[in-house]
Structure 1
Amino acid sequence: MGDIAKGALGGAWSLLVGWVLPTALNLAVIATALMPSLRDVPPFETAARLAEGRGTLAFLTASLMLGLVLNALQNPLYRILEGYLLWPSRAYEYGCRRHQAIRRRLSDRLLLMRLERRAAEGSLPPVDRADLALLRHSRHLARYRRVDQRSTVTRRALLQERLARYPVDEGHLAPTRLGNAIRRFEIYAYDRYLLDSQLLWNELTATAPEQARRQVDTARTSVDFFVCLLYGHVAVLLAAAATLVSASAEALVVATTAAVLCIFIPVWYRCAVSATDEWAAAVRALVNVGRHPLAASLGLGVPKELAAERTMWSLVSRMPRIPYHERAAALDHYRLPPQDHAGDGTA
């Protein structure tokens, strides 16, 4: 039934589930917990009168309109949580240093567990023995050693999962967990193939298989849902603060609502970070299976050698980024004869 609904709604499914539904949930909290106290506050008094007698219609209309607005603002909303927008320089630099230390610590913990396991199974090469001794005496790993020594395969997999939410290159680290979790798959295509997927995203999604594009949209919807829910909770907290000016404010209800929302905001943030795992897998699949149709649509043939393919995608990525230069003629080496792609409508 869910697949039928998704097929019927098409692109509206992501909008409804990702932005309208969480907006409706936050409006429901306002209507049930705060509206009785907000009726005497001037900014909300008019809205309360308008909703009288047309409650359901007003609720659905407000949910839809606010959901559309939040969907239109999704880029700046994401950038704030990723640490790129409205972050002071010192906070940005501190966040990057903090996550750099976390990433290195996770990597060292996994390396230490791997070397100790190999040492228990047999002899280690001299280089690995030196690394093992260095890690065993590392101060920043001392607090984790006892726990890691008793760790199971599942716990090691969870540590590996946390490490996988960081970009492979420390130069691409962001100051927040969500920023790093998203940045890891933004640079996947460039790290593997020198294909700038961010720059060529429209071309890539226009030529990739339909199933791959649908997987990306579906996976992102889960992240959108938690991001919208988080921002909605912040807005509800501000509304709760507005009830303090009301003489008839129900202090216990407002305080309880605010406390619950403060607990759930970090929970939704962590859920958004975890939900990026499926998003990352979908983007990875899109790049792996979509780069060949992309090359064909551009009139190019993918070389058999990976090094040559990386060179080709590097040249392709430069074309829309910088003005034309005669060095771009190096792409002629990868262009297919006209008869090989005339059927695709390319030139």
Structure 2
Amino acid sequence: MGDIAKGVLGGGWSLLVGWVLPSAINLAVFFFAVAPSLDGLGLMRRVWPSSQSSTMTLLLVCAVLLGLVLSALQQPLYRFLEGYALWPQRAYDRGLRTQRARRQRMADKVAEPGHPTLRLAVLHEQLSRYPIGDEQIAPTRLGNAIRRFEEYGHDRYRLDTQVLWNELTSAAPQPAVRQTETARTPVDFFVALLYGHALLALTALATLAVEPSAYGLLVPTAAIALVLVPVWYRSAVVATDEWAAAVRALVNVGRKPLADALGLVLPKELAEERRMWQLVTRMSRRPYQPAAEAAFAPYRADPDRLVPLPGTPVVPGQPQP
């Protein structure tokens, strides 16, 4: 029972809250606001449950299945909202210009004197949802809100978390890793709601073509769903603040355990540390070159002094720190 609870509170909790719960909400609205208008179709009469308990069971099963599908498709779903996939080149370029201009307007407002303290804090918060480098700007607000913490490790330490994410999460303290998973859950929740409401609105409008008599129910359903889509998008952007803080903490506290796990010694000077992580990133992305032997020599740890990872069995007679 304890293992089940740990699973639910771990990765299973993120799946449940981030994808299954919003799927259940979207399906509930469909079942009770759209599906009754399709009662005249023979297919709906055959698959629709005959009792309330059967209807709830069908809703639960469909919500779990839809949540699993959305979770499996989360990368393309995110990439579209970030502006990286399925965007025409003209729309992509226009989005970049819009976001760069918006960031510049915020920076100008922050630089203006005389703002009340609370207003200045809000402006700083909005400006912080953009990456530092102009070349890192994405064509959407959600893309920039996510890109800001994707570039954090590289900007501060030259540690590319996009390349070394698996290594970092394997070596970093588990509380920090769990924190990043938990902090992402609200963003997943709003993204799932966004796509579900968009699909719900399209389904309601398509149903209206089949059953024009249900105008009084389908049109308000589609209108409310469409109005809520930008609300969920805005909520997803704001929810990335906690996610960004969790990733920042993961990078800051996980650098040394990662260096130890890779058999490296973290340099005292920040400039040398940045050079070391740049070499590690290159080693992970590019084919091996003999020059790496000399480049890594100053950072290699003494094999007799390597600290074993937590959970690694101690071999009798093996040198220990």
Superposition TM-score, scaled by structure 1 size: 0.84
Instruction: Give distance in 2, aligned partners of 1:247 and 1:305.
Output: 71
Return 5+ residue gaps in structure 1 as ranges. Answer: 114-148
Contact 1:38–1:243 (CA<8 Å) still a contact in 2? yes
- The answer to whether the Cα contact below 8 Å between 1:41 and 1:243 also exists between their aligned partners in 2 is no
SS in 2 for 1:14: helix
What is the CA deviation profile of residues 212-268 of structure 1, one whole-angstrom value per residue up to 9, with x for unaligned ones?
A: 011100110000000000000011112101221333642111111111111111000
SS at match of 1:166: coil
1:1-347 residue pairs with structure 2 within 5 A? 8-41=8-41, 44-48=44-48, 54-113=54-113, 149=114, 151-247=115-211, 249-329=213-293, 330-341=295-306, 343-344=308-309
Runs of 5+ unmatched residues, structure 2: 314-321
- C-alpha separation between the residues in 1 aligned to 2:222 and 2:93? 31
Instruction: Return the alpha-carbon distance in structure 2 between the equivalents of residues 291 and 43 of structure 1.
Output: 57
Which piece of structure 1 moves more, 175-184 or 26-35? Answer: 26-35
The answer (yes or no) to whether the contact 1:292–1:302 under 8 Å persists in 2 is yes
Identity of aligned residues (%): 54
- Distance change (3 Å), C-alpha of 1:318 and 1:28: same
Q: Is the 8 A contact 2:33 2:217 kept in 1?
A: yes
Quote the offset at 1:39 in angstroms. Answer: 2.0
Q: TM-score, normalised by structure 2?
A: 0.91
Is the Cα–Cα contact under 8 Å of residues 17 and 189 in structure 2 kept in the other structure?
yes
Pick 1 or 2: higher relative contact order, CA cutoff 8 A, min separation 6: 1
The SS at the match of 1:343 is: coil
Which residue identity lines up with residue 214 of structure 2 in the other structure? E
Q: How far does residue 41 in structure 1 lie from its aligned partner after superposition?
A: 4.1
The root-mean-square deviation of aligned C-alpha atoms, in Å, is: 2.0
Report the CA distance between 1:210 and its aligned residue: 1.0
* SS state at 1:200 partner: helix
Q: Is the contact made by 1:194 and 1:313 (CA closer than 8 Å) also made in structure 2? A: yes
Contact 1:99 1:173 in 2 (8 A): yes
Cα deviation, 1:256-311, whole Å, max 9, x if unaligned, reads 11111111110000000000000000000000000100000000000000000000
Secondary structure of residue in 1 paired with 2:86? coil
Provide the C-alpha distance between the structure 1 equivalents of 2:296 and 2:34, rounded to a whole number of angstroms. 62
| Rounded Cα–Cα distance in structure 1 between residues aligned with 2:165 and 2:102 | 30
